[in-house]
């Protein structure tokens, strides 16, 4: 009985010593972690002890600079400490577009708070981060009569992301959006074109390499800008040779009956469209590119 009393304290002391050493070395250390394409920095707050999983692991509490907290195991902690060493304290938003701030969605406090579009989404090779606001103003179905006034009012109340498309309003909405942004600059609502994040979309009538470049040039002219912040391929499918598509004929002849290109050729044509979009990114005419209304099958085909 006496032997066991002497043995257990000695065992506990031996086990706790490494933990005390690690606590002293790592509490207060700076860490970094990517979340939704943005880099968040924090501090090791405290050592929480062995993992409940029963594995030879330890848990640490991390307090991030934006107020969030989480637990990290040993491997995650070491990776996060290394990531901080590689990136330091420089903030992602330190650029000419510094009014746009990279935040988590649940921490956004401003209409200029947003997420960083990563290289995997087609970010430009520029050293300036492409930050897309979490909230934006959409112009679908506004039409020519409403688009100018509504977009200008949206900018006046604080929206800094405007979403439009080549085809909206029968190809009139981009023109009205461009006028509204120009007016907002003239009246000092915006200090510069860079104060607003513009999204527009390629139209499927212009699938193919050269037609895609033509589509972009028309959009840029309508929007009165030399660059858009995000350019999307609006639809993966083709244009149709009529607007009066009959459901009974489609059921009888198939969904490609009214198409101006075959299903097989469309895959190649879509790839050419994307290649033109990549080239526009390299040329600086768009800051980021992406797709819209794509299924997983469309994405897999485009990857090939």
When pLDDT is averaged across residues 259-277 and rounded to a whole number, the result is 89
CA distances from 254 to 30, 235, 265 (A): 60, 19, 16
In this predicted structure, which of 20-24, 64-68, 183-187, 228-232 has the lowest mean pLDDT? 20-24
At 150, is the pLDDT very low, low, confident or very high (cuts 50, 70, 90)?
A: very high
Residue with tokens 């009139």: 172
Question: Above 50 in pLDDT, residue 64?
Answer: yes
| Residue among 237, 214, 242 at smallest CA distance from 301 | 237
Report the relative pairing of strands 38-50 and 58-64 from DSSP bridges: antiparallel
| Average predicted confidence (pLDDT) for the chain | 82
Cα–Cα distance measured from residue 283 to residue 289, given in angstroms and rounded to the nearest whole number:
13
140 catalytic? Reply is no
Residue 193: partners with Cβ closer than 8 Å, 6 or more residues away: 181, 185, 225
First to last CA, the chain: 72
Helices 209-223 and 173-186 meet at what angle, rounded to 10?
40
What pTM value is reported for the model?
A: 0.70
Q: Give CA–CA dist 48/98, Å, rounded.
A: 37
pLDDT confidence band for 14 (50 / 70 / 90): very low
Query: Which one from 64, 159, 168, 258 is the annotated catalytic residue?
Result: 168
Residues 6+ away with beta carbon under 8 Å from 137: 150, 151, 154, 159, 161, 162, 163
Return d(Cα 108, Cα 101) in angstroms, integer.
9
**276: pLDDT strictly greater than 50:** yes
């Amino acid at each position: 009985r006496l032997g066991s009393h002497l043995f257990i304290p000695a065992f506990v002391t031996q086990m706790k010593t490494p933990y005390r050493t690690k606590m002293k070395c790592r509490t207060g250390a700076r860490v970094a972690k990517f979340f939704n394409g943005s880099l968040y920095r924090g501090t090791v707050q405290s050592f929480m002890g062995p993992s409940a999983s029963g594995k030879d692991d330890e848990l640490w509490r991390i307090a991030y600079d934006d107020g969030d907290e989480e637990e990290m195991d040993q491997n995650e902690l070491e990776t996060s400490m290394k990531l901080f060493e590689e990136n330091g304290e420089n903030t992602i938003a330190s650029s000419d577009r510094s009014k746009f701030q990279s935040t988590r969605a649940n921490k956004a406090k401003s209409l200029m708070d947003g997420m960083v579009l990563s290289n995997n989404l087609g970010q430009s090779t520029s050293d300036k981060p492409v930050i897309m606001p979490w909230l934006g103003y959409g112009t679908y179905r506004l039409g020519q009569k409403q688009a100018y006034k509504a977009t200008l009012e949206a900018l006046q109340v604080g929206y800094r992301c405007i979403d439009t498309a080549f085809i909206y309003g029968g190809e009139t909405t981009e023109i009205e959006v461009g006028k509204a942004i120009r007016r907002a600059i003239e009246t000092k609502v915006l200090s510069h074109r860079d104060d607003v994040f513009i999204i527009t979309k390629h139209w499927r009538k212009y699938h193919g390499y050269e037609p895609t470049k033509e589509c972009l040039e028309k959009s840029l002219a309508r929007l009165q800008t030399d660059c858009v912040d995000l350019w999307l391929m609006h639809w993966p499918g083709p244009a149709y040779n009529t607007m009066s598509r009959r459901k009974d004929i489609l059921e009888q002849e198939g969904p490609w009956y009214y198409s101006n290109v075959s299903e097989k050729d469309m895959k190649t044509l879509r790839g050419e469209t994307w290649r033109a979009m990549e080239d526009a990114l390299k040329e600086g005419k768009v800051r980021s590119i992406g797709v819209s209304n794509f299924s997983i099958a469309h994405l897999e085909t485009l990857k090939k």
